[in-house]
Amino acid sequence: MRVHEHTFDAIVVGAGGSGLMAAVYLARQGDVRTAVLSKLYPTRSHTGTAQGGIGAALGNMGEEDHWEWHMFDTVKGSDYLGDQDAIEVMCRESPEVVYELEHMGLPFSRNEEGRIAQRRFGGHTSNYGEAPVRRACYAADRTGHMILQTLYQQSIKNDVQFFDEYQVVDLLIEGGACRGAVALNIATGELHVFRCKALVLATGGYGQVWEITSNAVTLTGDGMFLVARRGVPLEDMEFYQFHPTGIRGMGILITEGVRGEGGILRNHEGERFMERYAPNLKDLASRDVVSRAIYKEIRAGRGIDGKRFVHLDATQLGAEVIETKLPEIADFCRTYLGIDPVTEPIPVQPTAHYAMGGIPTNVNGAVVGMHGEPIRGLYAIGECACVSVHGANRLGTNSLVDLVVFGRRAGLAMADYCRHADLESAGDDPAGPAREELERLWSTAGSDGENAAEIRREMKQVMMDNVSVFRTEELLQEGLAKIAALRERADRIAIDDRSQGFNLDLTDAWETKGMLELAHIMTFCALNRTESRGAHSREDYPDRDDENWLKHTLAVPRDGSIEIGYKPVSITRFEPKERVY
């Protein structure tokens, strides 16, 4: 296998909203040679699918709004696990960054005065929880698409060098410093070593670990398991958000907007069951509450025809509302289900959606180790990172804010770091471990080996059955045992495709092994946390336990098991209060 070498000052791994924002800021400095490596063509990144909006307290709609109110909502939404110093940074800087996106050319929707239009979204309120407020800035129902296109154009304008369809398969982390990465050029099957002073991971989430997911097939958590393998811990991995309304069997997202417009969830008996679970907010209760209620209905045998889904009924909205306000959703129903939401209910079930946990960082995106020590030259941003602004549960529209606020900060911090740091040696054969790993996968003969797709299918099922909306010790123990058996089988995965270029059999197998490591860590952490908080719901420990568990989990693989550590939550303004749903 031929190995190519490249040297840059800064490397960005991932070309979603967070990676591109960091790249633009690095490149604008003029003196920091920057490259972006992405396993996808940049504008195919998952950020492009975000519809709802980006939260910023602009107060453009004739209502008062303040970043402090946004901060309060985010802290409360996080079930008090979010770090308040980081949340303050995010909410305070978000208006400025949204205006900056506007000035870059992002075509936001406008209100009558020509200002950026804003709409309501779950959990966003005025005056510390008093009433809903219009805080979500949007570009029709294509906000993420517009962010991605705008930032890509800015990257090209600023001469960022792109390596498209290069999959990073190893990180050069040694002696407490990151010296670069090893990537597979998917088109040729050759390895490339990228040496640099500073590297930022912006590789997105890992929703593909579950069977039913809103996440694209490429969201396999590569950045997370790459750092974990190199001994850097992951933070709060037990917290994973399930969105209540994914299309049955497929998981494709049906936006909260359908219920916002008046859509109603019904069980097999046609009952509006949310009235029983959340008498005040009903169908617009928080995502965790609605997901749990749907599962309870299914368990009680009241899923449609006794099956694992319920109905989202939008028929009462009428054709005009559906066609004008929810055109994308109507299109999804017609394309994927062959049904018309104007006349028929939409079959839905909770879908794996967003990772609150990830690679631990400070507010400049710098990665920190188990004992708070910095890993020199290593940064992480976006969904793969854990700053932590979302704590135990993320509010809608807060991921897009997180991407651009911390993408910008990391870009600036890295540029500064690159000016003072030297390029450190990456050793004699930096591609060695990656080459060995890929060759091992490659050399297992077809008939003796295990099939990666089959292992992936079984993993997704286990995670769905044992580590999803409801958890108990018994379920999690069983899940751990099953994941352990799958990990053992994964050592014998065989590759059928023998081609060099575009060998997706090989990359799928490699990703499957990585996802099993994440599944292991997340299940272990879920078993370890004996309380219920935000998205982590333990039926055997139904209460939040601030005395013992108001702390972040850190977890790193060690000798076949997981080593656990903790770090305190930053509480600066808002003391934890009774859990309110």
Ligand X SMILES: Cc1cc2nc3c(=O)[nH]c(=O)nc-3n(C[C@H](O)[C@H](O)[C@H](O)COP(=O)(O)OP(=O)(O)OC[C@H]3O[C@@H](n4cnc5c(N)ncnc54)[C@H](O)[C@@H]3O)c2cc1C
Q: Which residues bind ligand X (CB under 6 A)?
A: 13-19, 37-40, 42, 45-47, 49-53, 144, 167-168, 202-205, 214-215, 219, 222, 253, 354, 382-384, 396-400, 403
The first and second tokens of residue 166, run together, are 């290069």
**Is 120 among the residues known to form the active site?**
no
Cβ at position 53, least distance to ligand X in Å: 6
Nearer to ligand X, 13 or 199 (CB): 13
For ligand X, give the closer residue by CB, 226 or 455.
226
How many CB atoms are located within 10 Å of the residue 371 CB? 9
How far is residue 141's CA from residue 110's CA, in Å, rounded to a whole number? 13
- For the bound state, the minimum distance from the C-beta of residue 386 to ligand X, rounded and expressed in Å, comes to 12
Sign of the CA dihedral 184, 185, 186, 188? negative
Which residue's CB is nearer to ligand X, number 18 or number 34?
18
Contact residues for 322 (Cβ-Cβ < 8 A; gap 6+): 314, 329, 330, 341, 342
Grouping H, G, I as helix, E, B as strand and the rest as coil, residue 195 is strand
What's the min distance (Å) between Cβ of 143 and ligand X? 6
Judged by CB, which is closer to ligand X: 139, or 494? Answer: 139
- Contact between residue 314 and residue 258 where contact means Cβ atoms under 8 Å apart: yes
Identify the H or E element spanning 15: none
Active-site annotation holder among 135, 287, 456, 533: 287
Cα 195 versus chain centre, distance:
27
In the complex, least distance from residue 184 CB atom to ligand X, rounded to whole angstroms: 8
Amino acid at 86: A
SS (H, E, C) 313-370: ECHHHHHHHHHHHCHHHHHHHHHHHCCCCCCCCEEEEEEEEEECCEEEECCCCEEECC
The first and second tokens of residue 231, run together, are 């001994």
**Strand blocks (E) in 417-473:** none
The single-letter code of the amino acid at 507 is T
Contacts from 373-376 at CB under 8 Å and sequence distance 24+?
Answer: 373/176, 374/176, 375/173, 375/176, 375/177, 375/178, 375/232, 376/176, 376/177, 376/178, 376/421
φ, ψ dihedrals at 555, nearest 5°: -140, 135
Smallest distance, ligand X to C-beta of residue 38, A: 4
Instruction: Characterize 291-328 residue by residue with b for buried, 16 or more Cβ atoms within 10 angstroms of its Cβ, and e for exposed.
Output: bbbbbbbbeeebbbeeebbbbbbbbebeeeebeeebee
Of 226, 493, 218, 210, the C-alpha closest to 378 is 226
Closest approach of Cβ 105 to ligand X, in Å? 19
Label residue 565 exposed, middle or buried (CB < 10 Å: 0-12, 13-18, 19+). Answer: middle
For ligand X, which is the closer residue by CB, 209 or 403? 403
Ramachandran sector of residue 282 (left: φ over 0; alpha: ψ -120 to 50; beta: rest):
left
Provide, rounded to whole angstroms, the least separation between the CB of residue 445 and ligand X: 27
Of 180 and 449, CB closest to ligand X: 180
By beta-carbon proximity to ligand X, the closer residue of 167 and 349 is: 167
Residue nearest to ligand X (CB): 16
Using the minimum distance from each CB to ligand X, give the nearer residue, 204 or 534. 204
Q: Tell me, what amino acid is at 143? A: T
Q: Are strands 10-13 and 118-119 parallel, antiparallel or unpaired?
A: unpaired
Which is closer to ligand X, CB of 37 or CB of 527? 37
We find the least distance from the C-beta atom of residue 218 to ligand X, in angstroms, to be 6
Which residue is associated with the tokens 């090989």?
506
Least distance in angstroms from the C-beta of 220 to ligand X: 7
Active site residues: 287
